Amino acid sequence: MSKAAKGEMLGRLQSAARQSRTALAARLLQTGLYAGQDQIMMALSDEDGQTPGGLASRLGVRPPTITKTINRLQAQGFLERHASDADSRQAHIFLTESGREAIRVIEKSLRKTEKQALRGLDKKEQKTLLKMLSRIEANLTSVDSAPEPEVELEEVEEQA
C-alpha cells in the first residue's frame, strides 16, 4: 500500500460517520432535538426506566455528559425522572408522552438519513456493507484480541 493510501480507509470511515451524524443532526434540529439526544431517546425507547449511569455505559459516554443531556431533554418535556423504589438516591429516566411522540420523529429522521447515505447502493451492496461494518466494529471492540504490532512493509519483505 502506498504511503499516500495509508490511513485512507480509516479516514473515509471516520468521514462517513461524521457526515452521517451531521446530516442526522440537521434533520433533528428542525424538530427541536440536538445531536446526541436521539441516542438517549432511542435507548429509552428500547428499555425505558434506565438509570443515568446505565445509559452512560450503554452509549459509551461519561455520566456528566448524560446528566447534562437528560436535564435538557427533561426541560424540553421529553423525559422525566423517578426515584428508585429500592434506593431513593438512584433515579430512573422515563420517556414522557411527548418523548414517545418524538421517537417517531427520530425514527423518520434516521430512515431518511440512512436512505440518503445509501443512495446508489443496491440491496446486495447494502448487505455487504452492513456485514463489513459489523466486522470492523467487532474488531475494534474485541477485548480478547490484542493490537498487532506495527511493522513496516519493508521490514516484512526483509524478513522473507
pLDDT band at 148 (very low <50, low <70, confident <90, very high): low
The DSSP element (H or E) to which 94 belongs, if any, is strand 91-95
How far is it, in rounded angstroms, from Cα 119 to Cα 19? Answer: 14
The model carries a pTM of: 0.76
**Lookup result for grid cell 446486495:** 124
- Write down all domains in the chain, each with its CATH number in brackets: 36-123 (1.10.10.10)
Tell me whether strands 91-95 and 79-83 are parallel, antiparallel or unpaired.
antiparallel
Are 20 and 78 in contact by the 8 Å Cβ rule? The answer is no
pLDDT band at 51 (very low <50, low <70, confident <90, very high): very high
